[in-house]
Amino acid sequence: MSKGFLGTAAPIYADLTLLLEMAMAVGLFVGAVLARLGRFRGARLVPVVDCPSQSGPDGLTMLPAFHRLVLPKLQGRLESPTTPWPQLHAGLGSVAEFGGLYILLAAGTNLLPEKFRIKHYKFWMRSVLLVWWIVLLLGMAHMRVGT
């Protein structure tokens, strides 16, 4: 495994994924500002691009790394893992990813039945955005310390 360009022990693909995730964070922040300003057309475009494009890096880099580096350390020790941060990052990241995709389906399409559609957009979008930012910060911290 070669060392990345951000000065951590992470490989180059992890550095690229982190930069992509940070760019998406900026995009989501811009989308939130646009919504706050009442420019809903532009605000809707951001998650439509960000959420599905986030699934690629997650599936190609984070899932294999979790499977290779974290799961072996957990075998037989789920009640007291050696380092809980990767598990927390993965769990909250899954909540943010699936929450974002659900919001896209429930608010932006007619694919779901009426009873599963979202009525209070602000609460759900702000909640998922908050979780997503926590996940990003956990990922940055985890990459920095290399635990």
pLDDT of residue 71 exceeding 70, the answer is no
* Residue 133, pLDDT score: 87
pLDDT of residue 145 exceeding 80, the answer is no
The mean-pLDDT minimum among 10-14, 35-39, 113-117 falls in 10-14
What percent of the chain has pLDDT above 90? 2
* Residue 6, pLDDT score: 67
Mean pLDDT of the chain: 77
Q: Stretch 76-103: mean pLDDT, rounded?
A: 75
* Residue 17, pLDDT score: 79
Q: How far is residue 94's CA from residue 83's CA, in Å, rounded to a whole number?
A: 18
More confident residue, 141 or 132: 132
* Residue 77, pLDDT score: 58
Q: How many CB atoms lie within 10 A of CB 142?
A: 17
More confident residue, 83 or 37: 37
